[in-house]
Amino acid sequence: MNIHVFASGDQLDEACADLIGGIIRIKPRAVLGLATGGTPLGVYRRLIGDYRKGLVSFRHATSFNLDEYVGLPESRPESYHAYMRKNLFDHIDLPLSRAHLPNGNAADLEAECRRYDALVEEAGGIDLQLLGIGHNGHIGFNEPDRELAAGTHLVHLADTTRRANARFFNSIDEVPKQAITMGVGTILKAKMIVLIAKGADKADIVRRALEGPITTECPASLLQTHPRLIVLLDRDAAARLSPPSLKAMKGVDFQTDGYYTDLKVFSTNKLT
């Protein structure tokens, strides 16, 4: 696990966009796992900026989003399809035919889940999975539970998740009760995972996820088992982590004010 703490959210965005851009430069046909929510917005703005400056091209890349609401038309601005178009896809050269999201309006949702897993498999799996974290430790829409599904599946959203996401809708009543999400098995199979979190309201769950016991009751804690996890945090989200325990962990590179510029993680761990 590599944890980097940034003085500002902007610096985090820049470093994260550098990581994604770095992957694409090394492997133009990279398969990206993309996330929604408030946290990745700055990263996507940076990627658009880098694309406009000619620093990165997504022409040969493929992407898979983590999740989508069930029963919300793709044309609705709150859908993750619309979010991705507005905040990334409409502004870069990633062909829409290779920018995948689960179809939350499929007639047969179970078949749609199997189709999505097969597509990820056909693409060769995910090279870099970008993840945010929910206040209850969910990743994608994998909510805390006694057991978790490995593959793409249908989920009932926790009330806390619906309340948290109500800010993107007119009212909580409009927030769908179900979603399709990639499973933790698929997420953990990604060759590299980049977890990002910002803000004091994430400090507790970030500590539970990274320092707490590995449990399905905090799905993000399963990330501790991943061999190549990079965690990018702003100072507020990192506030409850304990530096001594971080330093004791093998491979941890803990910076308090540092700006992560080198991409040595790529030069030493070439993706194949």
Residues classed as catalytic: 67, 136, 138, 143
Q: 140 near 179, Cβ under 8 Å? A: no
Residue 58 or 83: the one with the smaller Cβ distance to ligand GLP is 83
Two structure tokens written together for 74: 């793709």
Sign of torsion, CA 154 156 161 162? positive
Question: Which element (helix H / strand E) includes 155?
Answer: strand 153-156
Q: How far is the CB of 129 from ligand GLP (least distance, A)?
A: 11
Say how far residue 13 (Cα) sits from the centre of its chain. 13
Q: How far is the CB of 133 from ligand GLP (least distance, A)?
A: 6
Candidates 165, 176, 205, 232: give the one binding ligand GLP (CB under 6 A).
165
66 lies in the binding site for ligand GLP (CB under 6 A): yes
Q: In this structure, what are the phi and psi dihedrals at residue 99, rounded to the nearest 5 degrees?
A: -105, 95
Nearer to ligand GLP, 217 or 253 (CB): 217
Task: Identify the three-state secondary structure at position 32.
Answer: strand
Which residues 6+ apart lie within 8 Å of 264 measured at CB?
none
Which CB atom, from 161 or from 186, has the smaller least distance to ligand GLP?
161
The region, left, alpha or beta by phi > 0 then psi within -120 to 50, assigned to residue 98 is alpha
With CB under 6 A as the contact rule, the residue among 3, 21, 39, 183 that binds ligand GLP is: 39
> Which member of 36, 63, 79, 186 binds ligand GLP (CB under 6 A)?
36
Query: From the CB of 195, what's the least distance to ligand GLP, in Å?
Result: 9
Write the binding mask 120 to 149 for ligand GLP: x where contact by CB under 6 A, - elsewhere. Answer: ------------xxx-----xx--------
The reply on whether position 221 binds ligand GLP by CB under 6 A is no
Residues written for the chain = 272
Give DSSP secondary structure letters for 121-140: HHTTS-SEEEE---TTS-BT
Instruction: Say whether residue 37 binds ligand GLP (CB under 6 A).
Output: yes
Question: Where does this chain bind ligand GLP (CB under 6 A)?
Answer: 35-39, 66-67, 132-134, 140-141, 161, 165
